[in-house]
Amino acid sequence: MRKLRFFLAAVAAAGIFAVSCQPKNPDNQGGSGGGGNKEDEPTPVVTETDLADITYQVNVYSFADSNSDGWGDIKGVTSHLDYFESLGVSALWLSPIQTSASYHGYDILDYYSINPKLGTEADFKDLIDKAKAKGIDIYMDYVLNHSGRGEWFSNAISSESSPYRSYYVLSSNPTADVAAGKVDNYGGAKTPGMGAWHVAAGGDLGYKGKLHFRLDWAKKTITVTQSTDAVQTSNPSASKWLWIGSVGAVGLYETSTNIFEITIDVNTDWGFLIRTSTTTWDGGTKYGGNGSSITFGTPFPINNTTAADITFGGTSIQYFASFDQSMPDLNYGPYSTASSSAAFKDLAASADKWIQMGVNGLRLDAVLWIYQKQTAANVSFLKQWYDHCNATYKARGGEGNLFMVGEAWADNVDQMAPYYQGLPSNFNFYYYWTLKDRINGGKGNDFASTVISFRNKFRAQRSDFIDAIKLSNHDEDRAGSDLGRNAGKEKLAGAVLLTSPGKPFIYQGEELGYYGTKSNGDEYIRTPIKWTKTGTVPSAALNGKVDNTMLNADISVEAQSGKDDSVLSVYRKFGKARNEYKSLAKGEMTAVTSTNTAVAIWTMSYDGETALVVHNFSPVQVSVTPGLYKLTDLAVSNGTVSVSGSSVTLGGYASAVFIQ
């Protein structure tokens, strides 16, 4: 796709091209990131050519808050387009922005509407238009494996005649239906790769009236009886809770050792669960049944493994969910004819709406699970989906082809490679796993050959493959944590990413050196951007779960914009260089033999231009002689780099790119 790219005009002494990406003034806005002055970047020289295809992953709910309600929003993203431009970014991948049940958006309730917490359709169209004016594409995150439990789902389980009945994987006898091959989304397998059946709990599976609950924690049973006793209020100091209907958490009273009780007025159309925590569903804190209903007055066994909804009787219909029970799997029927299914047509119509509005790409969530890790089935589905969406894009007048990348998070590269038969691009998790292993091990001499081996596997599946390379993302521990919170390693990882072949993705905050792990909840790897040294951050969507120790003044955009050696400055320098040199942007990698095991050396060549790339994966100074390559035209560097004849010396975790 043809876009504008930005050439930097600064030329240093001795004929060395010096890349400078420092803004004249930092973003001086106040509050949590919305409004205020935009990043003041040097005016670039503009020419018409291909950009480096760098994509930035945005958690919209925690990026920038335009209205001070504590939520990041679409207008906040729009107000920082200059920031993306300073990184050399040509596309934004937005976390799901459709109406959803959770802050993260991966349990979509309405594929056709924008989550009002994030803004309006007009806000989204404004972002698309203003980003386009800067040569930046907008990619939407699309969740095709499952939805949230919204109107589609409620309607589907309400009646066998529901027009949405076929949208979900439903059965009144899953064991028999699976054995008979009637569960299409297993892709022909008899067991799922992941997931469980849950009681749908619609219609007469709920209850309306006064009930007494008695939990025997020692025996792990709960007894429910109809009651005429006075209703009790929730125990605010409880250690055990009911999770019921639309009420949410109801605290039980410990009436004797390991016995917890309460009488409440119940009005629910589904059932209840037992919880030992009101802040997390992780770590076995959710207790339920095995898919059956209680009998009043009879102790009912609970567990925290299957933990299915405990219902009150009536006709049982179950649904399959690969992930949490709040995310029922969508059903596309037999994979060879998936595009003719009602669910496919409805989801495709929703995608058409956004593509026609100006969206130029989709990121597809959890594509391994659409047909339960059955590769041939998933590939067939994905090809049908891509062909439909690409046809819509072309009919709109889009240039080239629609970009589409899959989250085919397989165990190894050989399992993932066949997904290129269905999609033009897939995330290369193995690239990052290799990179962090090599950096932490101080060994770089086989990095290029390993990356080339991955690319050869992809090329065997699709000649025009687009290798989506990345460090961490919203589902993984932060690269900063993986690399020991070592700024030198973090800068090296960014420099390697932006000098490697493929389409680089930068995850929100990675360019600032953010760290964090999933151990205390996913919120801690989805941290808001700290725009100013003293300003607040949009943390409402994350329920305040942010590491304020990390979010100090020094890690802010304002502070790092004023430092030539900050993590942000390194990302900006190498992003600009990737946009300046076609060999870095579009080149194919060739490994160069390294005379030091710590050093990774390769060339990137495209259309008559070659760049020599040299990275020191160790913390100590090293010298290497990369053969007959020129070491005179230094395009961009990080750390201490010096040249003596045919030898280059690099400080710990330093990087250099020489144009040949």
Residues forming the active site = 365, 407
Q: Which of 324, 273, 294 is nearest to 226 (CA)?
A: 294
Retrieve residue 653's tokens: 């975790």
What distance in Å separates the CA atoms of residue 146 and residue 324, rounded to the nearest whole number?
10
Q: Which amino acid is at 447?
A: F
What distance in Å separates the CA atoms of residue 622 and residue 650, rounded to the nearest whole number?
6
Do 428 and 502 meet the contact criterion of CB atoms below 8 Å apart? yes
Is residue 300 helix, strand or coil? Answer: strand
Residue with tokens 């009273």: 253
What distance in Å separates the CA atoms of residue 468 and residue 491, rounded to the nearest whole number?
20
Strands 221-226, 300-301: parallel, antiparallel or unpaired by DSSP? antiparallel
390: Cα within 13 Å, side-chain hemisphere: 15
C-alpha 314 chain-centroid distance: 39
CA angle 425, 429, 432 (to 5 degrees): 120
Taken in order 21, 26, 32, 37, the sign of the CA dihedral is negative
For residue 592, give Cα distances in angstroms to 3, 444, 584, 617, 626.
32, 11, 16, 15, 7
What distance in Å separates the CA atoms of residue 647 and residue 637, rounded to the nearest whole number?
16
Is residue 596 helix, strand or coil? Answer: coil
Do 117 and 67 meet the contact criterion of CB atoms below 8 Å apart? no
Taken in order 169, 174, 177, 181, the sign of the CA dihedral is positive
Q: Which residues are paired to 321 by β-bridges?
A: 196
Residue with tokens 């975790």: 653
